[in-house]
Amino acid sequence: MKNRNPDAAVRVLLQCAAFAAVLSLAGCGGGGGGEGAASGIAAPVPPTPGIDLPGPQQLADAGSVADSCAAPRTGTNPATGLPFADRRGTLADEKTWVRSWIDRTYLWYDEVPSNLAAADYATPTSYFDALKTPALTASGRPKDRFHYTYRTPAYQDLLQSTESGYGAEFAYLSRTPPRLIRVAYTEPGSPAAQAGIVRGDTLLAIDGIDAVGAGSQADVDRLNAALAPPADGISHGFTLRSADGNTRTVNLASARIERSPVQNVRTIDTPTGRVGYLQFNDHVEKAEAQLVAAFEQLRAAGVVDLVLDMRYNSGGLLAIASEAASMIAPAAVTQGAVFERLNFNRKNPFGLSASQSSLPFYATTRGYSVPAGRTLPRLGLSHVTVLTGPDTCSASESVVNGLRGVGVTVDLIGAATCGKPYGFYPEDNCGTTYFAIQFQGVNAKGFGDYGDGMAPTCTVADDFDRALGDVAEGRLAAALNHRATGACPVTASARRSASASPPVAADGAPYLERSAPRADRLVRPADFN
């Protein structure tokens, strides 16, 4: 195994499946191994019947062929500040490294088919795409839906907390004609927000191209290019219909978007006490300060319960998830408890001790955007309601699972979560970063079997006709009703049937398009101290 920069070597991520295209003509297409692009949903490929499983074999040690590259990089590695370690090699060397890395570190290394010859694959990435378990979950979905690659420079760029865009999160409720694309929310101060775009607006066209019914590949390609601008300063005309039926066209220029991970912090007075609400969209460094401020505000307001809206939170830093869970729960149940334990394959490929594989419930800030060591504010709640959907992934699921692990009651209102209890140590070799599942996260009770997602307590459609945080919005209204009555409101099913928007995407896939880091679960060395 290569000796990497320490922070890079032990960075652990949980990632959304690689995406191939935002929109498609008739069905989802594409394959694994995204080479730096993050958009669309690719249909899973079923395993080949009768495939052989591996027997005993001798494989080269990954370290012996690491950095042996067909096209070695030169100069300084921007991630480490040191010269690239690449040396002259061949594509065969790169494929050998891929196979050895899988055999050493992959969680299900003993389920990888043994009849896959490296010579049959043109590139190391295409070979890597095939080197995964063919097993299925109980629901029939592929057991491993999160196996992919990323071009290392693109991945390093995406690790930053800003990226090019318009500041509107589009929900792709139907990706094939007739398509249905609505705005989920906007970032404050973004080009979209400044143009008056709000939650619930429906996308009709871009630059005059019909976004609902476009049928040619050329039109679909142009729509996709406009929806995912590769750089700042790219302008397009967006035609939208508002919830009240008015249609307008606005010109948007892509720019660096500063995300606000915590929004709409408020209190709701009910007959049984004051309930807090906050919209939590990203487990990023900036979220630490915003979460601390939000929980201080809610604590000062004397809330007796909380609705945590993570329907669009696809993941991020696991330490932020631990802090959020700690600020919700009573200190008596989290002190000394495990928030999440990482279970690797039986080879213990990274040589971690038990303490290095267990993340605690933090009682103090970690120093991401608040000075380290500051005592976290606590609400001390034994119950919390979380608003969820297919975009509730990875670190967000860890919040739910971690709280349940110490006896906090967590009700889920909305739709099933995405189902990502797994994670990675991403590894760069020859300019490609490889993501192979290497651990399963479990809570203090040892539970982490939610590969098919966490089922909601009440199934309620996402109500795009109302603002997030509005007490009349479908999921928040259902959460308050469930808290008051202990039952799912009858209006939930009626609203779901009457809604023009399906409660989940047609294939159960996430609504939103997120770049890789926003759907990751990251763990850093200091997180275990």
Angle (CA) 316 439 504, round 5°:
55
Residues 266 and 371 in one domain: yes
Residue for token pair 């007075």: 269
Number of domains the chain contains:
2
Same domain, 450 and 411: yes
The CA distances from residue 30 to 156, 337, 393, in Å, are 23, 42, 22
At 226-277, the pLDDT tens digits run: 999 989 999 999 999 999 999 999 999 999 988 899 999 999 999 999 999 9
Q: Phi/psi at 302 (nearest 5 deg)?
A: 75, 35
Strand order from edge to edge, sheet including 262-270 = 262-270, 273-280, 305-309, 383-388, 409-414, 458-459
Helix, strand, coil percentages (3-state) for the chain, rounded to 5, are 25, 25, 50
Assigned domain for 46 exists: no
Mean pLDDT confidence for 494-500: 39
Q: Are residues 359 and 216 in the same domain?
A: no
Domain of 246?
Answer: 162-258
The pLDDT value recorded for residue 245 is: 95
The residue out of 216, 237, 258 marking a domain boundary is: 258
Consecutive H or E run containing 141: none
Q: Are residues 372 and 455 in the same domain?
A: yes
Query: How many of the other CB atoms lie within 10 Å of CB of 495?
Result: 18
Is 374 among the domain residues? yes
Range name among 242-251, 348-357, 392-401 with the lowest pLDDT average: 348-357
Confidence of residue 278 (pLDDT cuts 50, 70, 90): very high
Average pLDDT value for the chain: 84
Side-chain-side CA neighbours of 261 within 13 Å: the count stands at 25
State residue 252's pLDDT score.
Answer: 98
Q: Is residue 99 part of a domain?
A: no
The yes-or-no verdict on residue 117 having pLDDT over 50 is: yes
Residue 134 lies in a domain: no
**What CATH code is carried by the domain that includes residue 214?**
2.30.42.10
Clarify whether residues 323 and 453 are in a common domain: yes
Same domain? 244 vs 360: no
pLDDT at residue 480 tops 70: yes
**Sequence-distant (≥ 6) Cβ neighbours of residue 246 within 8 angstroms:** none
Q: What average pLDDT score do residues 472-491 get? A: 92
> Does residue 95 belong to any structural domain of this protein?
no
Contact 322, 376 (CB under 8 A): no
Same domain, 330 and 305: yes
Which of 233, 258, 283 is the endpoint of a domain?
258
In a domain, 119, yes or no: no
In the listed set 258, 290, 305, which residue is the last one of a domain according to the structure? 258
- Residue 254 and residue 267 in one domain: no
Q: What percent of the chain is modeled with pLDDT above 90?
A: 69
**Together in a domain, 229 and 371:** no
Please report whether residue 408 resides in a domain: yes
Where would I find the H helices in 140-216? Answer: 152-158, 191-194
Looking at residue 258, its pLDDT comes to: 86
267/199 same-domain check = no
Label residue 28 by pLDDT band (50, 70, 90).
very low
Residue 99 is encoded by which pair of tokens? 């196979």
Kindly tell me the burial class for residue 470, based on how many C-beta atoms sit within 10 Å of its own C-beta (0-12, 13-18, 19 or more).
middle
Tell whether 169 and 201 lie within a shared domain: yes
Residue 102 in any domain: the answer is: no
- CATH code, domain carrying 344: 3.90.226.10
Does the pLDDT at position 17 exceed 70? no
Residues in the chain: 529
Same domain, 301 and 191: no
Residue 515 has pLDDT above 90, yes or no: no
Mean pLDDT of 90-94: 97
